[in-house]
A and B are shown apart, each in its own frame.
Chain A
């Protein structure tokens, strides 16, 4: 089976989505392998803790499969999954769970780093984490999707069912707030 993994990387998501809709669970499994890290990462950054992030990723990937027939072929699978993950994260956050202990980077420890530098790095991570957690959800989602995930304003607007001017406005406000918080920490 040598080379199959590389070959599978060549197949586009759209192909796998089409096969998954025809009942090939294998195809969906490949999509899950490709996108589970993203689903978890976004969940983690939006919700703040490992357990919620894992739940969000798992629920979102199952929901995506259950709704494959509603998936529009003109959008990308990842955009669609971002949408589901973001909505699930919003549900979790608004359900009143404590988002005070945001842990954006559980495995930040780098064994090669100097202890002092590592401690400073962790402090920086904590500072960003706290600053992000304090943002209203819409602003946090815009920051995470644009600055962490690299989505364009238009893509963020698509994922959050918003408009480009609204996304831009959320980002302007969020950046000032984050900048002020991080400046205090510096």
Chain B
């Protein structure tokens, strides 16, 4: 870095010269001016800058030089398609899956992953009026472990993990609309989800635990 810049000769040279200097002829700090432009505050001039030709010229130069970077920063880069699905499928592999066995016949066993039950329950809960957000969780880890232990002796050989038979326990965390009667919405959710799981999967005994942990306004 050299001393203050004297008279800029040509446009291209001027910017190069400015960028290798510590300060302008007026004493203004080059780094601070470049920071001002790069941060999008080029028109945000202080009292000195409003009067100073050196600062005015430097800010104009830096604005032109920095423009491609500003444009690139403003461009939209979407996530590649399938990224969320890829992440979630890897995470599901990491999560120990719990299974419900629906039927064991001469043809074999029909099993369904507990997370499918949770997803169906969640989607079903979302259709209940007053429900704004619903998150589903199949049997809590602890409950799953208890159920697995409890059913070990009766477990069907085809079932890989804990067999819970035709009994499902689903936890739902929901956010409801402010002003709606919370207990009524919660009871509607239980009834709706239980009916859905019975009708669509054929689960016999369904327990639906509803936790209302957020209330959202309509704004």
Q: Which residues of A contact B (CB under 8 A)?
A: 1, 3-4, 7-8, 10-11, 15, 19, 22-30, 32-33, 36-37, 39-41, 44, 50, 54, 57-58, 61-62, 65-66, 104-105, 107-108, 121, 124-125, 127-129, 147-148, 171-172, 175-176, 178-180, 182-186
Q: Assuming A4-B133, A24-B135, is B35 touching A33 (CB within 8 A)?
A: no
Q: State the CA gap A124–B66 with chains docked (Å).
A: 11
Q: Which of B19, B84, B90, B136 contacts A26 (CB 8 A)?
A: B136
Q: State the CA gap A58–B86 with chains docked (Å).
A: 8
Contact with A along B72-84 (1 / 0, CB 8 A): 1101011110011
Q: Which of A32, A147, A178 contacts B84 (CB 8 A)?
A: A32
Q: SS class of chain A's interface: helix, strand, loop or mixed? A: helix
Q: Does B179 sit within 8 A of A, measured CB to CB? A: no
Q: Assuming A7-B175, A24-B137, A183-B16, is B64 touching A124 (CB within 8 A)?
A: no
Q: Assuming A7-B133, A148-B73, is B16 touching A180 (CB within 8 A)?
A: yes
Q: State the CA gap A107–B127 with chains docked (Å).
A: 37
Contact with A along B23-43 (1 / 0, CB 8 A): 000000011001100110000
Chain A residues near B65 (CB, 8 Å)? 179, 182-183, 186
The segment from B115-123, B146-154, B201-209 that touches chain A is B115-123
Contact A36 B83 (CB under 8 A): yes
Contact A105 B78 (CB under 8 A): no
Q: Assuming A10-B216, A15-B214, A180-B16, is B84 touching A36 (CB within 8 A)?
A: yes
Q: Which of B62, B69, B73, B88 contacts A32 (CB 8 A)?
A: B88
Contact B34 A26 (CB under 8 A): no
Chain B residues near A184 (CB, 8 Å)? 16
Supply 27 A–B pairs (Cβ within 8 Å), ascending by A: A1-B127, A4-B132, A7-B133, A7-B175, A19-B213, A23-B140, A23-B141, A25-B95, A26-B118, A28-B88, A29-B84, A36-B87, A37-B78, A40-B83, A58-B87, A62-B90, A66-B94, A121-B71, A124-B68, A128-B69, A178-B66, A179-B19, A179-B66, A183-B12, A183-B15, A183-B16, A183-B65
Chain A residues near B95 (CB, 8 Å)? 25
Chain B: residues with Cβ within 8 Å of the partner, total of 55
Q: Does B183 sit within 8 A of A, measured CB to CB? A: no
Task: Kindly provide the distance from the CB of A30 to the nearest chain B CB, expressed in whole angstroms.
Answer: 8
Among B73, B126, B140, which residue has the most Cβ atoms of chain A within 10 A?
A: B73
Q: State the CA gap A36–B80 with chains docked (Å).
A: 9
Q: State the CA gap A1–B128 with chains docked (Å).
A: 9
Contact B80 A8 (CB under 8 A): no
Chain A residues near B19 (CB, 8 Å)? 176, 179-180, 183
Chain B residues near A1 (CB, 8 Å)? 123, 126-127
Chain A residues near B66 (CB, 8 Å)? 178-179, 182
Q: State the CA gap A97–B165 with chains docked (Å).
A: 52
Q: Assuming A36-B79, A36-B83, A41-B77, is B31 touching A178 (CB within 8 A)?
A: no
Task: Kindly provide the distance from the CB of B50 to the nearest chain A CB, expressed in whole angstroms.
Answer: 23
Q: Does B92 sit within 8 A of A, measured CB to CB? A: yes
Q: Assuming A36-B83, A124-B71, A128-B68, is B90 touching A186 (CB within 8 A)?
A: no
Q: Which of B35, B64, B91, B171 contacts A171 (CB 8 A)?
A: B35
Look across to chain B and name the residue whose beta carbon is closest to the beta carbon of A44. Answer: B77
Contact A179 B75 (CB under 8 A): no
Chain A residues near B123 (CB, 8 Å)? 1
Contact A182 B77 (CB under 8 A): no
Look across to chain A and name the residue whose beta carbon is closest to the beta carbon of B216. Answer: A10
Q: Which of A58, A121, A172 contacts B31 (CB 8 A)?
A: A172
Q: Assuming A62-B91, A175-B34, is B73 touching A147 (CB within 8 A)?
A: yes
Q: State the CA gap A65–B84 with chains docked (Å).
A: 13
Contact B137 A105 (CB under 8 A): no
